[in-house]
Amino acid sequence: MSENAAALSSSRVITVTVNGTVYEREVEARKLLIHFIRDDLDLTGSHIGCDTGNCGACSVIVDGTLVKSCMLLAVQADGSSIETVEGLADGDELAALQQAFSDRHALQCGYCTPGMLMSATALLRTNARPTEAEIKKGLQGNICRCTGYWNIIEAVALAAERTRP
């Protein structure tokens, strides 16, 4: 128990909202956000690819900002609202972006897909009609070893086309 945020401690109780659900958990200060999400909350949609901040498979949106959850401690996310890939679909109804990934075969093994979807979601929120160059820049922090990226770029463009206001 350490309610004084300014006091050093090796663990603390944090409260986060993930995809609309509020969770309160005690976490060790050394625990990365991705481990908290996967192991403590059992939300295993976000993947650990490289664990070195390079591949982007663990990308989630924290308070509206796209981040790599392996480059953040869980305690740093205290009080925040987090969106993960599990929050994209509406029940069995795929989000437009997910449907576009399916329609354009934008994945093979699927390991990078949760991160790709979160990066593309963040991109399309700030830029509803991205150019090809803007899509590439938006997905720059995400590595895919299967597709060669083209189908992913096409899928994001298709999702933008379909959801154009």
Partner 1 sequence: MLLREVEYAKPSSVAEALQILASNDGARALAGGQTLISVMKARAASPDALVDLAALDELRGIELAADGTLSIGPMTTYTELVDSAEAKARPILAEVCAQIADVQVRNRGTIGGNLCSNDPTNHLPPLMVSIGATMTIAGQGGERVVSADEFFLGVYLTAVGPGELLTKITLPAGKRDAFAAVTLGVDGTCIASAAASLNGSLRIALGCVDATPVLVEPASADEGAVREAVRGAGLDPPADVHASAEYRLHLSEVLAVRAARQAAERS
Q: What residues form DSSP beta bridges with 68?
A: 59
- Which CB atom, from 67 or from 152, has the smaller least distance to partner 1? 67
Given candidates 18, 37, 43, 70, which one binds partner 1 under the rule CB under 8 A? 70
> How far apart (Å, rounded) are the C-alpha atoms in residues 46 and 60?
8
State the residue for tokens 């086309």. Answer: 161
| Phi/psi of residue 80, nearest 5 degrees | -95, 170
Which one of 15-23, 91-99, 106-114, 118-126 is the stretch in contact with partner 1 (CB under 8 A)? Answer: 118-126
Residue 24, helix vs strand vs coil: strand
Given candidates 17, 19, 25, 28, which one binds partner 1 under the rule CB under 8 A? 28
Given candidates 84, 98, 119, 147, which one binds partner 1 under the rule CB under 8 A? 119
95 counts as binding partner 1 under rule CB under 8 A: no
Q: Where does residue 118 rank: exposed (0-12), middle (13-18), buried (19+ CB within 10 A)?
A: buried
Given candidates 3, 5, 42, 93, which one binds partner 1 under the rule CB under 8 A? 5
- Which CB atom, from 72 or from 159, has the smaller least distance to partner 1? 72
| Phi/psi of residue 59, nearest 5 degrees | -60, 130
Please, what sign has the CA dihedral across residues 74, 76, 78, 82?
Answer: negative
Given candidates 7, 42, 92, 164, which one binds partner 1 under the rule CB under 8 A? 7
75 counts as binding partner 1 under rule CB under 8 A: yes
Q: Which residues have CB under 8 Å from 48's CB, separation 6+?
A: 34, 38, 57, 58, 70
Residues near partner 1 (CB under 8 A): 5-10, 12, 28-32, 35, 51-53, 56, 59, 65-68, 70-73, 75-76, 78, 119, 122-123, 137-138, 140-142
